Structure 1
């Protein structure tokens, strides 16, 4: 860990003295998949670790009885945890405000630090840094399933730069302020997405305005001009008068993806974002602003990729099937995805939520199981309640404002994350002093 201006200590020297301060999750035989329940105590796995302190979705659960039996593996606030197999190199943190007990999976190990020696958030942020990740991977093996050999011995031996405790707290506070702003943006985006989804369902699935007018009520949260676009009765087919059940493809054009030849170096590393399912945004965030891989203009010209504009819905069709995202800028995508463009102009939000509804219908037809693939024929089997274009335009006028705000919040969070990731290693090495970092943070957080 060359270049650090701070003393370097081993993890075992900053661990708390209580039993289980350095511990591994339950043995696999004690945490079998048949113990999972629909609700209960969340089990934290590697896929729940997010880019900051907040955990992300996809939890599995066990009963409180099972959790009590495995109580030595319950995580406490300020615990730091690491995958020792699978997603090695990642690190998670239990925030002080986390109200729900969390149980470590069998693939995790835990560190609980002595707060008189080290600040837990500082240690977490160190392991989020490039040097911290290198320290984790120093003990890893990629033979078979990636893992850390002798997990607890390895964790005890890992090295951490240790500035004075007051400086650790200041560093953690600076990085935490940036992370908090990203979290505020994430929650705001999720709220806005849910508002757009709820409006789609109200208008085009549950027909709430039609029911209101049928019962002699004024449709809620709607001006008179918009309310006048809805009929006040239903046809025999259960749809609002004047609406017809229409094929999904009457509203949507399908665009196929592609992949430039991976062995041709010149096709890659350009400035054209190339989307694959690994780039899918977190729940509630809608837009993908950047991709793990980019292609060059030469790769674009010599492959089947097609450029789609911002606002295009992209759905994964193979592998992890049914994940949807909206392009946050012009981009291309691989052949395991489809781009979905509205056949009428300015219907991006309608297409996105109609597609989400279509995925739910497919899952329902599969009786809750994962459907293996989506093809063009799959789309041919989907139908929508076809509203008049005037109502689609009215929906777009409202929801596009919310989606534009989500887009702006996503770009802001990307800028903040870039700043966080830039100052993180410099703070950890002592190259950037706390006062200088605070001035940078005050400009954005």
Structure 2
């Protein structure tokens, strides 16, 4: 792609546009269990800094950060493994690890909000790639990074471009946060009902104390006190009461320990249909050219922020589909990567064929997709524990199918599904909205960064 920047834009080397370039390569900090969060290359991804899980001690901060202290608004760029991931520092008091450089635009000349997106543009990313060295792992030296050419519009135009793209990014991030909260609620309910048996234990404790078991279960299910139950709307109270009545008031011994009375122990293979997939020959164009069927590999799940699959990187033809014995799987199939790595999860909201890196679990009349994906999440430690392999870990369908599976009362599963389906419908809606926002952002980014779309002084915001 050729770039013809507007005449009012300057093109200058990166080093001449900065007030600070902070580089901690060549130094390895001593890490501790908690303290000052450490920004490492692995947590800089897709324009955001992911939650940090490595730290340096508070008392080591000043002695470590002698090359410069990062500030809120600074831009971090990964210099290798991976090269060219970009994000903006949102919180003060963070430390920088190796393979990270921090950029700070020159005051009144280069806005950091604009720089964030400029560094993600194809124009800059192509330069990073061209100036990188290394065969196995590509990296860029600071001396080469400084030479990268930046197209810089007038400051007011930078502010407008930065605001438009930041508003889109912030909306995407907000949707991600909402979806994480909704997913956490679904997980918490599953754990309470089907792992810890809290409604059952509440009934048992209430009986022993001479109290109302049903009221105790209602409190356990809702998280409300008895006084708060009295404040509930009549219909909501009745629905909660009906749910509480579904749980027994006794635990009995089983081969897996205590389980609620009436619940059976089985295996996931006996209760659901599980299938694998395949990869039609990639050398045969008949299977791939102008493909019209979604076909997924675990790579499609690796970049999902929500456990919702709405699209795939590749599609196959009808001829290619015939080479996969499991065929085109229906919407709401639960997908779990079975190797490299084991444990990516997603609900397919599209009809999709799968490659050999998956175990797909089909919902049925009793066990919904929402129930099954949470079952997988809750049992992930055992799933991974059953994997084996020398080159990479893999769990076979046989080993997966043998995993023990509690069979609750049908009505309890129906009640759970009714509760969490609303959550997953909202998660899916937010994921679809984000897909549209990401497409819009990625369409605007090169056009704004090349000057193809010009902004006037009245532009610069994205309405909800």
Q: TM-score, normalised by structure 2?
A: 0.84
- Distance across 1 between alignment mates of 2:458 and 2:339: 44
Compared CA separation, residues 385 and 185, structure 1 to 2 (3 A): same
Q: Determine if contact 2:87/2:116 at 8 Å carries over to the other structure.
A: yes
Aligned residues: 426
Query: Which structure 2 residue ranges, 5 or more long, are not aligned?
Result: 207-212, 223-238
- Distance across 2 between alignment mates of 1:171 and 1:417: 16
Q: Determine if contact 2:329/2:351 at 8 Å carries over to the other structure.
A: yes
**What residue in structure 2 maps to residue 83 of structure 1?**
78
Range with bigger deviation, 424-433 or 411-420: 424-433
1:396 to 2:417 alignment: yes
**What residue in structure 2 maps to residue 45 of structure 1?**
40
**What residue in structure 1 maps to residue 18 of structure 2?**
15
**What residue in structure 2 maps to residue 232 of structure 1?**
249
- Distance across 2 between alignment mates of 1:46 and 1:305: 39
**What residue in structure 2 maps to residue 94 of structure 1?**
89
Q: Which structure has the bigger radius of gyration?
A: 2
- Distance across 2 between alignment mates of 1:66 and 1:388: 56
- Distance across 2 between alignment mates of 1:38 and 1:316: 31
1:320 to 2:341 alignment: yes
Q: Determine if contact 2:167/2:461 at 8 Å carries over to the other structure.
A: no
Deviations 1:177-219 (A, max 9, x none): 1111111110111111111111111110111111222213242
Query: Where does 1:146-225 land on structure 2 (aligned, <5 Å)?
Result: 146-148=138-140, 151-214=141-204, 215=206, 216=213, 217-220=216-219, 221=222, 223-225=240-242
Match of 1:187, SS?
Answer: helix
- Distance across 2 between alignment mates of 1:125 and 1:436: 20
1:111 to 2:112 alignment: no
**What residue in structure 2 maps to residue 261 of structure 1?**
281
- Distance across 2 between alignment mates of 1:103 and 1:427: 32
**What residue in structure 1 maps to residue 135 of structure 2?**
143
Deviations 1:336-392 (A, max 9, x none): 1111113435610110010111213345789xxx99221123224421332011111
- Distance across 1 between alignment mates of 2:452 and 2:358: 44
Q: TM-score, normalised by structure 1?
A: 0.88
**What residue in structure 1 maps to residue 5 of structure 2?**
4
1:55 to 2:49 alignment: yes
Query: Where does 1:366-377 land on structure 2 (aligned, <5 Å)?
Result: 372-377=393-398
Q: Determine if contact 2:342/2:384 at 8 Å carries over to the other structure.
A: no
Q: Determine if contact 2:386/2:399 at 8 Å carries over to the other structure.
A: no
Q: Determine if contact 1:194/1:284 at 8 Å carries over to the other structure.
A: no
Compared CA separation, residues 326 and 436, structure 1 to 2 (3 A): farther
* Deviation (angstroms), 1:426: 1.2
- Distance across 2 between alignment mates of 1:273 and 1:37: 45
1:307 to 2:328 alignment: yes
- Distance across 1 between alignment mates of 2:282 and 2:56: 42
Match of 2:135, SS?
Answer: coil
- Distance across 1 between alignment mates of 2:302 and 2:424: 14
Match of 1:86, SS?
Answer: coil
Range with bigger deviation, 407-416 or 306-315: 306-315
Match of 1:258, SS?
Answer: coil
Compared CA separation, residues 44 and 290, structure 1 to 2 (3 A): farther
Q: Determine if contact 1:268/1:294 at 8 Å carries over to the other structure.
A: yes
Compared CA separation, residues 134 and 37, structure 1 to 2 (3 A): same
Q: Determine if contact 1:44/1:59 at 8 Å carries over to the other structure.
A: no
Q: Determine if contact 2:44/2:78 at 8 Å carries over to the other structure.
A: no
RMSD: 2.7
Compared CA separation, residues 376 and 38, structure 1 to 2 (3 A): farther
